[in-house]
Amino acid sequence: MAGTLTRITPEQRDLALVEVATKSVACDGGGGPLGHPLTYYEIGAEGSASCGYCGKKFVLKTQ
């Protein structure tokens, strides 16, 4: 995954839907040691990606 990557913050931990500005995202559950392994996702043509561990959905911000 080249380019800019968005990683969720602890403040976004409890959000089911996270708007991001990049197509590459990383999720660790946002809970530090209480989260899950760091996983990477690419937002495709459908405009969203979901974390396989916590189900958090990432969508591209509309401009």
The architecture (CATH level 2) of 5-60 comes to Sandwich (2.60)
Long-range contacts of residues 9-15, Cβ cutoff 8 Å, at least 24 apart: 15/56
Half-sphere exposure of 38 (CA within 13 A, CB side): 9
- pLDDT at residue 35 tops 90: no
Q: Is the pTM of this model over 0.85?
A: no
pLDDT per residue as tens digits for the range 20-31: 999 999 999 877
Q: What does the domain layout of the chain look like in residue ranges?
A: 5-60
Q: Is the pLDDT of residue 1 over 80?
A: no
